């Protein structure tokens, strides 16, 4: 029954309720924490390759979805990788498929994807736990929220003991990336800047986030949804040739039936979306991108990418710095002129697509540098 742990969770619909204890259930001890991330992602982003970094980060979620048989499992996109919570029935197949994705990232993108897992049983032995809640973005589309010091502990173990936790076995299979797309051009900010922020509680207390949400409500009285950057009603599709070239990299050998199907999909999509033709519900799909996007999320770290003016950014930064100075949080921020969207589209109807948001210059990865620097200063000798 543990395999149905997440599907049986009751979803809640107001994000600010993520601090309510009753929404969470403890992850079964038979499950696993799987983490992927791009080694050297900061360097790749500084070289202007943030699109590729985001793409491979999101691809690990697509691979897990195909292995799991649906998107109804806990995952969080982190910009240069993802955290996946996986049941015992599919873990071996998933690690095999992710190793294939690692091979593809190395061969076609010149990126090194870390693939690693830690058992929940081991985390419990270390007196660390993970709890999961389900937040409903829109009808048929939900997103996992995670809390507990088991998340950071798993990351620590993976980064500091790669010989034990990284999965190095070579795979002879090919990663199935059907549905993964990155066809929209970057979206310029409407309000001034695309603002990325990540916040961790220094004492693993959710009450800190209640305070932060309360402060954010004062700064953004219209609600954070009003600052969601995933608005593609005036967006532009990349050219046909650019999309074909980009998506040829999803295959070890592009001369196959799956890639031909992609080409036959890209060509009409270019005209439908750029000329705003309402064929097969295309414009309803475009309008629904905002309600199907992960611009705000929580995996024991509050993460968001919002489109706002510099005055509001200054207010947020002032509050966060005061909380950092008082020993309550670690945080990182980043500002950019545009946002980017990496999409997983199984269909155009409600619940059949989800969109992973980051800033146009790799905001999550760059904001993490500031947060990690604060953490290092906190533990270094005075």
Q: Give mean pLDDT, residues 323-331.
A: 96
Contact (CB, 8 A) for 31 and 85: yes
For the domain 2-178, what is the CATH code? Answer: 3.30.70
Contact (CB, 8 A) for 359 and 334: yes
Lowest mean pLDDT among 30-39, 184-193, 249-258, 370-379: 249-258
pLDDT over threshold 80, residue 166: yes
- Cross-strand partners of 329: 201
Per-residue confidence at 340, pLDDT binned at 50, 70, 90? very high
How wide is the angle at C-alpha 377 spanned by C-alphas 372 and 379, nearest 5°? 100
* pLDDT attached to residue 10: 95
Cα(226)–Cα(26) distance, integer angstroms: 32
Residue-averaged pLDDT of the chain: 93
* pLDDT attached to residue 349: 93
N-terminal to C-terminal alpha carbon distance within the chain: 50
* pLDDT attached to residue 111: 97
pLDDT in tens, 153-162: 999 999 999 9
Per-residue confidence at 2, pLDDT binned at 50, 70, 90? low
Cα(97)–Cα(66) distance, integer angstroms: 10
- The whole-model pTM stands at 0.94
Q: Give mean pLDDT, residues 293-320.
A: 97
Structure tokens, 236: 């532009």
Q: Give mean pLDDT, residues 2-9.
A: 84
Measured between alpha carbons, how far is residue 49 from residues 16, 38, 365 in Å? 33, 12, 12
* Interacting residues of 156 by C-beta distance below 8 A, sequence separation 6+: none
Contact (CB, 8 A) for 249 and 108: yes
pLDDT over threshold 60, residue 1: no
pLDDT in tens, 181-232: 999 999 999 999 999 999 999 987 788 999 999 999 999 999 999 999 997 7
Cα(60)–Cα(84) distance, integer angstroms: 9
Cα(331)–Cα(312) distance, integer angstroms: 17
Cα(268)–Cα(230) distance, integer angstroms: 22
Would you list the DSSP string of 29-71? TT-EEEEEEEETHHHHHHTT-HHHHHHHHHHHHHHHHHHHTSS
In the chain, domain spans: 2-178, 187-332
Would you list the DSSP string of 211-251? HHHHHHHHH-TT-GGGG-----TT--BPPHHHHHHHHHTTS
């Amino acid at each position: 029954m543990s395999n149905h742990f997440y599907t049986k969770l009751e979803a809640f619909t107001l994000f600010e309720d993520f601090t309510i204890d009753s929404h969470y259930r403890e992850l079964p001890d038979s499950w696993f924490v799987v983490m992927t991330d791009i080694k050297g992602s900061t360097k790749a982003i500084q070289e202007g390759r943030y699109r590729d970094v985001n793409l491979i980060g999101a691809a690990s979620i697509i691979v897990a979805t195909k292995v799991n048989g649906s998107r109804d499992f806990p995952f969080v996109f982190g910009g240069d990788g993802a955290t996946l919570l996986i049941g015992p029935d599919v873990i071996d197949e998933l690690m095999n498929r992710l190793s294939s994705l690692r091979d593809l990232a190395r061969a076609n993108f010149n990126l090194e994807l870390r693939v690693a897992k830690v058992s929940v049983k081991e985390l419990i032995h270390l007196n660390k736990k993970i709890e999961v809640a389900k937040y409903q973005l829109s009808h048929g589309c939900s997103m996992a929220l995670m809390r507990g010091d088991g998340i950071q502990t798993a990351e620590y173990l993976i980064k500091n003991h790669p010989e034990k936790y990284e999965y190095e076995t070579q795979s002879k299979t090919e990663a199935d990336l059907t549905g993964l797309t990155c066809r929209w051009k970057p979206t310029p900010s409407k309000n001034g800047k695309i603002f990325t922020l990540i916040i961790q509680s220094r004492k693993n207390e959710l009450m800190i986030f209640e305070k932060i949400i309360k402060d954010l409500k004062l700064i953004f009285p219209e609600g954070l949804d009003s600052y969601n950057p995933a608005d593609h009603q005036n967006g532009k599709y990349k050219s046909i040739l650019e999309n074909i070239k980009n998506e040829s990299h999803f295959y070890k050998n592009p001369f196959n039936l799956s890639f031909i199907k992609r080409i036959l999909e890209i060509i009409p999509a270019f005209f439908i979306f750029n000329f705003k033709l309402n064929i097969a519900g295309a414009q309803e799909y475009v309008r629904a991108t905002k309600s199907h996007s992960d611009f705000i999320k929580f995996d024991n770290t509050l993460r968001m990418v919002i489109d706002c003016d510099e005055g509001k950014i200054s207010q947020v930064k002032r509050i966060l710095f005061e909380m950092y100075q008082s020993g309550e949080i670690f945080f990182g921020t980043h500002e950019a002129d545009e946002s980017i969207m990496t999409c997983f589209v199984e269909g155009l109807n409600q619940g059949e697509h989800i969109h992973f948001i980051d800033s146009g210059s790799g905001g999550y990865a760059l904001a993490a540098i500031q947060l990690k620097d604060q953490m290092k200063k906190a533990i270094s000798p005075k």
